A and B are shown apart, each in its own frame.
Chain A
C-alpha cells in the first residue's frame, strides 16, 4: 500500500520529485516550489524519475505527469507499485488526462491546467509543515 500511514515516511523528507517532460511546466513548478522553500528534484521522463527515487537522499513526494516519452507515467507507476521499497513514496498525478489516471494507486489526481494553491496544499500535506507534525 503506498503511504497508507504517514508514520512510515522517512524522517528527513523535505523534497518533491517532478516527473514531467514539458520543460516549461517542469521548470515553472520547480521555481514555484523552491520559492516556497521546498527542495526539488526534476526528471524529464519516468526512467530518470526512478533513478532519483533509488538514491539514498530522495524526495518524499512525486508529482507525476502521464504522457511522456521513454517511460510514461503509467509505466512509472507500475514499476513503483511492484517495488515494496519504492511504493512507499506517495504519488500525485498531474495530468490533462485525468480520466485515465484511476487505478494507478495515486494519492491524488490533479487536472492540468491547475491552480497553484492546489499543488501547494498537496505538497504541504506530504512534505511541509503539515507533514512534519506527523514525523516523530
Chain B
C-alpha cells in the first residue's frame, strides 16, 4: 500500500535539492504547526484546504468528510468553484473510492477513468487529480488536489499530500478531544456550582435546625431551675405549690413534645430524600384528627383558631401523617399570621375532602409560592420568623402520599390559604 511508503518518499524529497520539493516540505511543516494550534473543525479545514493546494502548486483543493454513506465536500480552495457544500454517494465519487480502498488515487485524465462521475466534473476546470484518504484506518474523509491541464502527480506530490492528511487526521482527533475536554470541564464546573449551592443551603439549614432544637431547651431549663428554687423554699402554701407544679409540668411536656416533633421532622426530611418516607393507611376519621391537631396547637397561638367541620370523613388515612401535615400548616399560619384569627375548614367537595387553613397575615408573593414547598426554603427572613423550612415540604409530601394535592392562594399582605384536596379512600391504599 502506498501510504506505507510515505515516510520513505518524504525522506527522499527532503534530501533532494529540487526547490519545488523543498518548498513543499517547508509548506508541510508550516501546515503541521498550524494544525497543532487548531481548536475546532473550521480551523482544521481552513489550514488543510490552503496547505493542500500550496504543497504541490495545484489549481484547486477540496476537503471532504465522510457522512455515513455520503461524501460531503466541506470546503475548497480553487481557481473556480468546485463542489463546496455538495454530497455524493460514497460508491460513485473519487473521494469515496479513496476512503473505501484506504489508499490514494492518482488520475491523469478524469474523463478516461471509470471511478470518476464525469457529469459532476464537466462544469469544472478539472482535468487531473490526486485524492488521499484522511486516516488510513477507517478513513473519515479525503483531501483532493486538482489541475486544469493534464498532470500526472508524482510520488513526492502524493507523499506530501498524504502526509498532510495524516496531520489533518491527528488534528481532527485533537479537536474532538478538546471539545470533549471543554464539555467535561463545563459539566464539572456546573456540577461544582450546584454542589456548592446545595452545601450553602445545607449549612444554613444546620444552623437554623440547631437554633430550632435549642428553642425548647430555654423553657425546659427555666422550669428545671424553677423547680430547684421551689424545692428549696420552705413553708409554701400547698395549693399554690400544686398550681406552680402543674404549670411547670405542662410547659415541660409541651416542650418535650415540640422537641420530639422537631426530631421526627428532621428524620422525615432525610427519609423523603432517601425515598423511605412510608405511609401506614388504616380505617380512621380525618375529622377527629383535625379537631385533635387544632386543639394541640391552640396553646401555641396568640390568635384564636376557628374550626368548622362539615361532612363525614371516615376513610383510609395515615392519621399520624395527616396530623403532622395539619400541624405544619397551622404552625405556618401561627408564625406568619400576625396574631390575627386563623380559620380551619374541613368539608367535602366533589367527593373529596377539602382541608383549608387560612390566615390573615403577611402573605406570600407570587414568585415565592412554589419555592416555599421545597426543602429548606422560606420566603421571609429567619430574623423575624423561626422554623426549619421543612414544614410545607413535609406537608405536601403527606398530601401527595394520600393521592391528593396541596396548593396555596395568597398575595403579599393579604394572608395565605393552604388548601389540601384529598381522596377519602385513596386508590393507592386499597
Contact = CB atoms under 8 A, between A and B. Distances in A.
Interface in B209-232: 211, 214-223, 225-226, 229-230
Contacts of B218: 22, 25, 112-114
A69 B339 contact: yes
Given A23-B300, A24-B255, A96-B211, A69 B385 contact: yes
A116 B219 CA distance: 10
A70 B285 CA distance: 36
A74 to B, nearest CB: 7
A115 interface: yes
Given A23-B299, A28-B219, A116-B222, A68 B384 contact: yes
A31 B229 CA distance: 12
Contact of B339 (A25, A45, A96, A100): A45
Interface string A92-119: 0000110010000000000011111100
A127 interface: no
B223 A28 contact: yes
A31 B250 CA distance: 13
Interface in B357-378: 361
B122 interface: no
A104 to B, nearest CB: 13
Contacts of B225: 32, 115-117
A28 B339 contact: no
A29 interface: yes
A27 interface: yes
Contacts of B229: 32, 35, 116
A113 B214 contact: yes
A45 B336 CA distance: 13
A67 B385 contact: yes
Interface string B293-334: 000000110100000000000000000000000000000000
Contacts of B248: 31
A128 interface: no
A97 B217 contact: no
A66 interface: yes
A67 B226 contact: no
A74 B383 CA distance: 9
B251 interface: yes
A28 B248 CA distance: 8
A70 B335 CA distance: 10
Contacts of B385: 67, 69
Given A66-B383, A69-B385, A116 B214 contact: no
Contacts of B230: 35
Interface of A: 22-25, 27-29, 31-32, 35, 44-45, 66-70, 72, 74, 96-97, 100, 112-117
Interface of B: 211, 214-223, 225-226, 229-230, 244, 247-248, 251, 254-255, 299-300, 302, 335-336, 338-339, 361, 382-386
11 contacts: A24-B251, A28-B222, A32-B222, A32-B226, A66-B383, A67-B382, A68-B384, A69-B361, A74-B383, A114-B218, A115-B221
